[in-house]
Chains A and B, each alone.
Chain A
Amino acid sequence: MPVIELFFTFFMVGFVSFGGGYAIIPMIEKEVVQKHGWLTMEQFAEAIAVAGVSPGPIAANSAIFVGYQVGGISGAISSLIGIVMPSLLIILLVVRIFYKFRHSRTVKSAFYGLRPVITALVVYAALRFAFNQGVISLDLSWQTFALIGIFLFSFLALWKWEWHPAFVIVFSGLVGAALFS
């Protein structure tokens, strides 16, 4: 039953979803693409792209889309419930302790180590996607150069020119439609 498996997969992902969305991409990929083979890498990349254009948290969006592609509407619902369930459980069960201990040195030390690991996950996600999507490639066709160009342009647009990310995605899509078809 993919519906139940989806729930448990995203339940596990939800437990360690720190750091705003993109950090959990490697984990979803590991479970959904590599372990269960529910999606191809290309389908997974599409899911992340769609999750990025829709309003709402990236993690919840990705769960909904991946769930939908694997198991239809019921898959989407069970994935979404799965990914938010850990937050709910922690808030209901241990949050009183959390209010007390968040100033503790041990908790702060744990986050001191957690933060660079979360950064590593995002860096790794960027590298994986760059290889898989042909942005880093040995195939020196015009397509590779076009993708590198789009990557560099998007990066500058986000970082230097501070365009709105949703706008960068839509703009890039329009360029792609003109360029690759």
Chain B
Amino acid sequence: MNSNRSIAIGRQEHQQRKITLILQIFWTFLKIGPITFGGGYAMIPAIEREVVKKHKWMNHEDMTDILAVAQSVPGAIAINSATLIGYGLAGFWGAIAAMAGILVPTFVFMMMLSLFFVAFRDNAKVHAAFEAVRATIVALIAYAAIKIGKTALIDKTTTVIMLIAVLLLLTGLIHPFLIIIGGGVLGIVAVRIRKALGFSTLLNPPQSRKYKYDDYFIGDGI
């Protein structure tokens, strides 16, 4: 009887501790929030500071593992690593808490900007400003293409795959979704063929993680 009660109390305590941890996870990632523009490698040092140094939830090696996986799961690296950390710490609700924590500030910022933009869209000055900004967006995307190309186009095969994919996209005949899936399948086939022909293939891409601004990240993460 007595021991049963102490088990129940132990369970309750455990439950409470877990809820506290989940709230802590939410709060931690909420604080890190969108301090970065563009995507999020820059968020990594901030995440590491909180998770490894301050809370001691995991060590540096675990963090490195999580980053590697976060890169290969679709989606933004900051969101993925937060979710992975939350999941590792407290399971399902940990993952939800971490993801929500990272997303709430992103959502609030973006909504404020959207409301602002929609309110002033018809203003002549804002309209004129956006005309120029659209040309800048082209530059931004072109720059992203160069950055990502540096890690992607490592030999003739990858360059040819890239060119074929651009041509296919320009014809508009195949949905981009299928082209992406096709790229993965083609990669597996291409590496086999290269091996059969006696070429060695560099499977670990060169890492180009040097950022002048550690709060803006463009065209990397795969």
Contacts and interface: CB of A to CB of B under 8 A. Distances in A.
B222 interface: yes
- For chain A, give the interface size range: 35 or more
B19 interface: no
Contacts of B215: 55
Given A16-B181, A17-B75, A98-B69, A126 B135 contact: no
B39 A58 contact: yes
Q: Is the interface of A mostly helix, strand, loop or mixed?
A: helix
Nearest to B121: A46
B57 interface: no
B184 A113 contact: yes
Given A19-B219, A60-B103, A172-B132, A46 B162 contact: no
- Counting chain A CB atoms within 10 Å of each CB, which of B105, B139, B163, B201 scores highest? B139
B133 A95 contact: no
A76 to B, nearest CB: 6
A67 B103 CA distance: 15
Contacts of A155: 139, 142-143
Contacts of A146: 132
B169 interface: yes
A106 B72 CA distance: 13
Contact of A115 (B69, B79, B185, B205): B205
B84 A165 contact: no
Given A99-B65, A116-B152, A172 B203 contact: no
A12 interface: yes
Given A151-B139, A177-B128, A21 B74 contact: no
Contact of B128 (A119, A127, A180): A180
B187 A95 contact: no
A120 interface: yes
Contacts of B217: 20
A54 B170 CA distance: 29
A38 interface: no
B201 to A, nearest CB: 7
Given A60-B106, A135-B138, A116 B161 contact: yes
Contacts of B199: none
Given A57-B78, A176-B131, A111 B83 contact: no
B148 A122 contact: yes
A158 interface: yes
B125 A177 contact: yes
A92 B144 CA distance: 30
A147 interface: yes
Interface of B: 33-40, 65, 68-69, 72-80, 83-84, 87, 92, 95-96, 99, 103, 105-107, 109-111, 113-114, 117-118, 121, 124-146, 148-149, 151-153, 158-159, 161-166, 169-170, 175-177, 179-192, 201, 203-205, 212-213, 215-222
24 contacts: A14-B75, A17-B75, A18-B221, A19-B219, A26-B176, A30-B175, A54-B110, A57-B38, A90-B74, A95-B69, A98-B72, A102-B69, A110-B185, A115-B148, A117-B186, A120-B163, A121-B176, A123-B166, A151-B135, A164-B216, A173-B132, A177-B129, A180-B128, A181-B124
Given A59-B76, A109-B187, A116-B161, 16 more contacts: A20-B77, A26-B176, A45-B134, A52-B37, A55-B34, A55-B36, A55-B109, A56-B37, A91-B87, A95-B84, A102-B72, A109-B192, A111-B203, A121-B176, A133-B138, A179-B128
